[in-house]
Structure 1
Amino acid sequence: MTSREKESTGPGAHETSPWRLTLFVMFTAQFLSIVGFAFVLPFIPFYVREIGVTDEKLVPVWAGILLAASSLTMTIFAPIWGWLSDRYGRKLMVERAMFAGAIITMATGMIGDVYQLLFLRLLAGAFTGTIAASIALVSSVLPGTRLGFGLGLMQVAVFLGMSLGPWMGGMIADMIGYRLTFIAGGAILLVGGVLVMLGAEEKFIRPSAASLKRSGTMGMLFAMPGLVSLMVVFLLFHFSINIAIPILPLFIEEVGNLKTQVASTTGLLLGVTGATASISAAAIGYLSDRRGHKQVLIFNLFIASMLWAAHALARNIDQLLVIRILFGFAVGGNLPLMNALVGKLTPKESYGKAYGLTASMTSLGMTLGPLAGGIMASYMGLHWPFVVVSLLLSLVVIPLILSLKTR
């Protein structure tokens, strides 16, 4: 039994540990941060039109570039922030990500052209990253026997935010315009940052020089059995799903033949996906703690790949709504399962670096995916990219089956 398991299963551990309060605070703060960021998701392509991109063929390309830009800088900076969090504390990194996100999101509502928007997206990738920072903090305070459940609950916060954020943001954008909606999203992020600052508890003890020397390099992480394969899974998973992200609003516009209320309809469809994903995330996290994270993840990835292909067959909004509901149930548990596997493979004192590395692989996939999706949509139309997504996602299970030696 590891020291972490002894600590989490000893007499009275669950009653006296502050992990429950910190988990609740982080759940709430994560929800608020995702709502703030997701406010703008339904209308990024339409905001691109408003600030001066009039060539319709360039709209999906610019949407892909803008989504990829923040992911590119996050690929570079996420491991750096993770390395710092192992030395100075994970709570500080969460505060940094949320307050930076608040400032940058508000500023996005004040820009004059697409190049200024691109600059802010690059800054966002460098200085935000609330999900990875929050996961590292929560993982460091959770008992080992509650890792799957706790990370599943954090993913519920993400999906709830992704449900309400696009829906609320789309409705507000249709009523008051895109610029004020960015400012409102930034204000919500600010509230989340204050909540973490005042409510989250982390008993962080700076590691000794010997401990830092022993666990302070990325080479140590790459030497851990199975971790490199898991990084490949993170990269391929996020690359495949992000091919579709920048074109989804345009796809919904085409499938529904919509002329008005496009942002709110997009927000609704994204919202129902987040709602069903929220239901499945905690349940799958709880189940995987008992049945094995790897086996459940492989099954979920296969079902999700089939449902991506089904998107290409949709011919109206009603069909797309049904597909998005089922898709939410399929993907809800994937990320908490992947993060739980990282927690199982990595020692606690290296959580910052490990989750920083997963954030880097995630961001690299999110950099390449939107670029590929925007270019494919420009030349192949809006349906075929979903077929490509399905094929790529089905390949994600290969490194899981062949190399990962854990339940």
Structure 2
Amino acid sequence: MPRSLEPWKINLISVWFGCFFTGLAISQIIPFLPLYIEQLGIKDADSLSLWSGLTFSITFVVSAAVAPLWGSLADRKGRKLMLLRAAFGMGLVILLQAFVTQAWQLLLLRALMGLTSGYIPNAMALVAAQVPRERSGWALSCVSTGQIGGVILGPLIGGLLADWVGLRLVFIITAVLLMISFFVTLFLIKETGYIPISKKDKLNARQVFATLDNPKLMICLFFTTMVIQMCNGSVNPILTLFVRELAPGAENIAFLSGFIAALPGISALLSAPRLGRLGDRIGTQRILLATMVISLLLFIGMSFVTNATQLGILRFLLGFADGAMMPAVQTLLVRHSRDNITGRIFGYNQSFMYLGNVAGPMLGAAVSALAGYRWVFFATAMVVLINVIFLRRFYRRPKTHLPQPVDETSEHSASVAESAKTRG
């Protein structure tokens, strides 16, 4: 690499590839997971649906429970170590999934996979701690494109590999991809400027929130992360069925619904870095609120579509908002917390993200069963509306520019003074 390249830029490029391979590895298993469970002996349709749901969701439930623990350990031991742990641990667990002989073994390993998760949030925390603050929005948005790209290509590659080499070999190939993430992290990422925190100096949860200038905003941002994931997941259970309702004569429903499902990811790839850079200029909170309002309107529009083309266009437009929302939340988390608790904050945020992954499909399935497919989009829009109202309420100190870097003591004093002034 050129010697003139700054260390944080090398880390950014390396983390991008690590997140890309991680997103690719995780998502390429999802399309054929029910088929794999069926191969393990679960033949009854109702039992297959139950086992598939449990096997898919248990990873997120366990990940939500342990994410704060890994975040705390990252603040104490360093983010690079957590990246290595996550990449190697997930690679090993996924490799073992290739050799299971019964469904309960797969369920157990998927739960263990949740224990080893955490590559992407720790990658975000590492980049946030090292990149210049005035470029943090752009940098985090760039990292998110790595994950998005992997998640988009994963199901396509996974499906092709499953047909080509068989289901079990896909797990082995996935493990190899995660080991590539491990070696990229080991040899290319350098964690500079990190000051380890001793166990006796570690803050408990109450103390962590006491150091924040706006704790209510931070909690609201956590819930915003959950809402974003709920919005992405609520449509998943019914999308193929809704596309079939809109295009009853189409012979390629699986391809058509898969294409429509992937459209937001494609536009998110295009928008994320640009909107991240714009947020650095005009205020990240403005980008977050604007994109959430746009997504609200698009979800309402989806509830009135009359054909698959209209749905595809609206979902493509939705991706432009999706590409900005999660990086904007992460940027605000960085700017409203101090470096010595960034890992904890990102750990808490990751827990809410995993909860959204579980709650979204549950919301979509429940609303569609009670009121029909179209009401899923309307219910999702109402969830976004409630979140926008709370964000507007708790973001009491909108910023149109970034503060200049100052020492931690004066920065904290200034934030406390500003909060007091606002309350007064």
TM-score (norm 2): 0.82
**Cross-structure match for 2:282:** 291
Residue aligning to 2:28: 39
Q: Which amino acid aligns with 1:386?
A: F
Q: Superposition pairs for residues 90-101 of structure 1, below 5 Å?
A: 90-101=79-90
Give 2:273's aligned residue: 282
Moved more, 319-328 or 368-377: 368-377
Counterpart AA for 2:223: V
Change (3 A) 1:119 1:316: farther
Q: Paired residue for 1:390, among 371, 381, 386?
A: 381
The CA distance in 1 between the partners of 2:234 and 2:38, in whole Å, is 21
1:334 is the counterpart of 2:325: yes
Hey, what's the Cα distance between the residues in 2 that align with 1:262 and 1:44?
Answer: 20
The answer to whether the 8 Å contact 1:67/1:246 transfers is: no
Report Cα offsets for 1:238-260 as digits up to 9, x if no partner. 23433333554565566666999
1:237 aligned to 223, 228, 231, which one? 228
Q: Partners of 1:48 and 1:279 in 2: how far apart?
A: 36
Q: CA deviation at 1:357?
A: 0.9
Decide which of 187, 198, 208 is 1:221's aligned counterpart.
Answer: 208
Verify the 8 A CA contact 1:102 1:190 in the aligned structure 2. yes
CA change 1:254–1:187 in 2 (3 A) is farther
In 1, the alpha carbon distance for the partners of 2:171 and 2:242 equals: 23
Maintained 8 Å contact 1:25/1:195: yes
Q: Aligned-residue CA RMSD in angstroms?
A: 3.0
Sort the Cα spacing of 1:253 and 1:97 in 2 relative to 1 into closer, same or farther, 3 A: farther
117-126 or 351-360, which deviates more: 117-126
How far apart, in 2, do the equivalents of 1:315 and 1:134 lie? 42
8 Å Cα contact 1:171-1:264 kept in structure 2? no
Aligned residue for 1:396, secondary structure, equals helix
Q: How far apart, in 2, do the equivalents of 1:166 and 1:61 lie?
A: 21
Question: Match for 1:101: what amino acid?
Answer: M
Give the match for residue 399 of structure 1: 390
1:310, 1:48 → 2: CA distance? 37
Q: Deviations over 1:220-250 (max 9, x none)?
A: 3323212122222223332343333355456
Indicate if the aligned counterparts of 1:243 and 1:389 stay in contact, CA closer than 8 A.
yes
User: Partners of 1:127 and 1:271 in 2: how far apart?
Assistant: 27
Partner of 1:300: 291
Equivalent of 1:129, from 105, 118, 121? 118
Residue 395 of structure 1 and its aligned partner are, at CA, apart by: 1.8
Question: 8 Å contact 2:76–2:198 — kept in the other structure?
Answer: no
Which of 179, 194, 197 does residue 190 from structure 1 map onto? 179
Q: Specify the alignment match of 1:138 in structure 2.
A: 127
User: Tell me, what secondary structure is at the counterpart of 2:343?
Assistant: helix
AA partner of residue 218 (structure 1)? A
Q: Could you tell me how far 1:263 is from its partner in structure 2? A: 6.5
Give the Cα separation in 1 of the matches to 2:91 and 2:240.
24
Give, in whole Å, the separation in 2 of the partners of 1:306 and 1:56.
37
Higher RCO structure (Cα 8 Å, ≥6 apart): 1
Percent identical: 27
Greater Cα shift, 184-193 or 285-294:
184-193
Find the aligned partners of 1:168 and 1:149 in 2 and give their Cα distance.
Answer: 28
Distance in 2, Cα, partners of 1:235 & 1:58: 29
Matched with 2:145 is 156
CA distance in 1, matches of 2:23, 2:72: 24
Aligned-partner SS, 1:186: helix
SS in 2 for 1:273: helix
State the Cα distance separating 1:336 from its structure 2 match. 0.4
Q: Which residue does 1:347 correspond to in 2?
A: 338
Give the TM-score, by structure 1 length. Answer: 0.85
Distance 1:288 1:339, change over 3 A: same
Q: 3-state DSSP class of the match of 1:332?
A: helix
8 Å Cα contact 2:70-2:118 kept in structure 1? no
What is the CA–CA distance in structure 2 between the aligned matches of 1:167 and 1:399, rounded to whole Å? Answer: 38
Q: How many Å apart are 1:209 and its aligned residue?
A: 4.7
Equivalent residue number for residue 4 of structure 1: none
Distance 2:60 2:337 in 1: 24
- Post-superposition CA distance 1:63-121 (Å, at most 9, x none): 44333211111111110001001111000101111122222223334334443332222
